[in-house]
Amino acid sequence: MEKKDRLRLESRARIMKALGHPTRLFIVETLESREHCVCELTAMIGADISTVSKHLSILKQAGVVRDEKRGSQVFYALRVPCVLRLFECVESIVRSSAEEYLELSQQVSVASITQRKIE
C-alpha cells in the first residue's frame, strides 16, 4: 500500500472510530437540528459533564464537530453535516442484514417443521 493511500485510510479509520460509540452517535444525531452547549448535551445524555466532554473531544479531534466558546459555555455543532448521510448508509446495511436474518430464520423454521413431519 502506498503511503498516501495509508494516510487516507487512516484518516477514515479515525473518523469511523470516533463515531464508534452509541453516545457519540447520539451527539451527532442531536447536533443535526442545531448546535448545543455542553450543559444541554449532558442533560440529554444523562451522564456527567466530564464523560460528555470526553466524547465531544474525541469527535472534535476527528473533525466531526466544531466548538465555539461563548462566555462560560461551549457550544458544539457539526462541522460537515454530510456525516448524516453515512448514518443513512449504515441504516441500509442494518435493514438489509435484518431482512437476510429474517429470511434465514423463516427457512430454518420451515425446514424444522418439515423434518418433524417426516419423523
> For residue range 59-93, what is the model confidence (pLDDT) as tens digits?
999 999 999 999 999 999 999 888 877 778 777 78
pLDDT computed for residue 12 by the predictor: 87
Q: Are residues 42 and 53 in the same domain?
A: yes
* Count of structural domains, the chain: 2
Q: Are residues 99 and 68 in the same domain?
A: no
Long-range contacts of 63-66 (CB under 8 A, 24+ apart): 63/15, 64/15, 64/18, 64/19, 64/28, 65/27, 65/28, 65/31
Q: Are residues 60 and 117 in the same domain?
A: no
Q: Are residues 103 and 65 in the same domain?
A: no
Q: Are residues 103 and 58 in the same domain?
A: no
Q: How do residues 19-72 score in pLDDT, each as one tens digit?
A: 999 999 999 999 999 999 999 999 999 999 999 999 999 999 999 999 999 999
Q: Are residues 64 and 87 in the same domain?
A: no
- This prediction's pTM: 0.75
pLDDT computed for residue 93 by the predictor: 80
Q: Are residues 55 and 13 in the same domain?
A: yes
Q: Which residue has the higher pLDDT, 99 or 42?
A: 42
Q: Are residues 8 and 41 in the same domain?
A: yes
Q: Are residues 29 and 15 in the same domain?
A: yes
Place of cell 464537530: 65
Q: Are residues 14 and 41 in the same domain?
A: yes
- Residue 112: pLDDT band (50, 70, 90) is low
Q: Are residues 3 and 37 in the same domain?
A: yes
The residue range of the domain holding 67 is 1-79
